[in-house]
Chain A
Amino acid sequence: MEGFLPPMWAAIWWILALPFVIYGFVQLKKVIDEKREVLPLLGICGALIFILSALKLPSVTGSCSHPTGTGLSAIVFGPFITAIIGFIVLLFQALFMAHGGLSTLGANTFSMAICGPFLGYYVYRTLKDTKVNMYITVFIAVALADLFTYVITALELALAYPAEATGLMGSFVTFLGIFAVTQIPLAILEGAILALVFKYIVNIKPDILIKLKIFSEEKIMAAREV
């Protein structure tokens, strides 16, 4: 939504988003320099963000939206590295497709590449060592990361455009109705697909997940036998 944020808000979101992106860049560089063996995994996680955020899917509300794909990367590499990857994807879309503008890039980065992944990451951290099935954990974390992105988008717009009669909350509910409700089926679909991708990683290369301490060794090995 290019140009749909007043200059002040566009600047605020840029300022909030930049530290995450910069720290993510530092972390990313460290991973690339020191842990060469995780590069294929980094490629897979980054590529999923590229693919999924390019797919505009129809939803129950009669409008279209796209999944974010950030959940898996947040689980495997943490929210900061996801922030820089998401930023690159959004920059590409802003430059070439006018899908989200350069001024609103800060706001888009904040919702899609920072808030969503952070929520997904903490959901995963909470469920990680509980009895919850590993794939269910990935599913929930990914789906909530996707959904939360659009909750934040709605909040960003509501903060910039509070309704005259009903104020901030009124606006928030209106935007939530447009963005978050549309997103629910997409979030479920994305969660299921990324959980399946995670299963393939577990089957092909379990040692790398154990090394990165994504889940405990027992959990990963137990999942492999099935």
Chain B
Amino acid sequence: MKYQFEIIVGIVVILFIGVFLYTASINPDAEFGGSDGEGSAVVSDLTGIPEDEITPLIPQWTPPSGEIESGLFALQAAFGGIILGLGFGYLLGQRKIQQ
């Protein structure tokens, strides 16, 4: 079968979405925050220092809002996507010339 592999990966993706929808439905309180946020909470539990008071050793710029942060993440993925397409496009072009 020509697309066997694609179908398997498709099923994995659908299962992943299914598991997400299932956990979200049985657990309506789940916030789906970052796991590093939960890790931070444990650290502040262990040390007794409130989370807000833990600051970076080297001061750094933080995105002013979640919107801007998600925009920057989208930019990162888009940049990766451009390079990915360029790489595959180059290989496909090479193959075409060789044929």
List the interface of chain A (C-beta within 8 A of B): 1-4, 7, 10, 40-44, 46-65, 89, 92-99, 101-104, 135, 157, 161, 163-164, 171, 174-175, 178-179, 182-183, 185, 188-189, 192-193, 195-196, 199-201, 204-205
Contact = CB atoms under 8 A, between A and B. Distances in A.
Interface residues of B, number: 57
B67 interface: no
Going nearest first, the 3 A-B pairs with the smallest beta carbon separation are A62-B30, A50-B80, A51-B80
A104 B54 CA distance: 13
Interface in B58-99: 58, 60-63, 69, 72-74, 76-77, 79-84, 86-88, 90-92, 94-95
Majority SS at the chain B contact face = helix
A196 B95 CA distance: 19
A123 to B, nearest CB: 19
Contacts of B69: 97-99
28 contacts: A1-B36, A2-B60, A40-B88, A40-B90, A41-B87, A49-B80, A54-B74, A54-B76, A55-B77, A56-B34, A58-B32, A60-B19, A62-B23, A62-B24, A62-B31, A63-B34, A89-B76, A96-B61, A96-B72, A98-B62, A99-B69, A157-B42, A179-B35, A179-B39, A183-B35, A188-B16, A192-B9, A205-B94
A202 to B, nearest CB: 11
Contact of A10 (B57, B63, B79): B57
Nearest to B74: A54
A4 B34 CA distance: 15
Contact of B35 (A61, A98, A196): A61
Contact of B91 (A47, A92, A104, A204): A204
B77 A103 contact: no
B68 to A, nearest CB: 9
Contacts of B43: 1, 4, 157, 161
Interface in B1-39: 5-6, 8-9, 12-13, 16, 19-20, 23-24, 27, 29-39
Nearest to B55: A3
Nearest to A153: B39
Contact of A43 (B20, B34, B55, B83): B83
> Most chain-A CB neighbours within 10 Å: which of B37, B55, B60, B77?
B60
Given A1-B39, A157-B42, 6 more contacts: A47-B84, A63-B32, A102-B57, A164-B46, A174-B42, A178-B35
Contacts of A175: 39, 42
A199 B95 contact: no
A57 B18 CA distance: 13
B86 A43 contact: yes
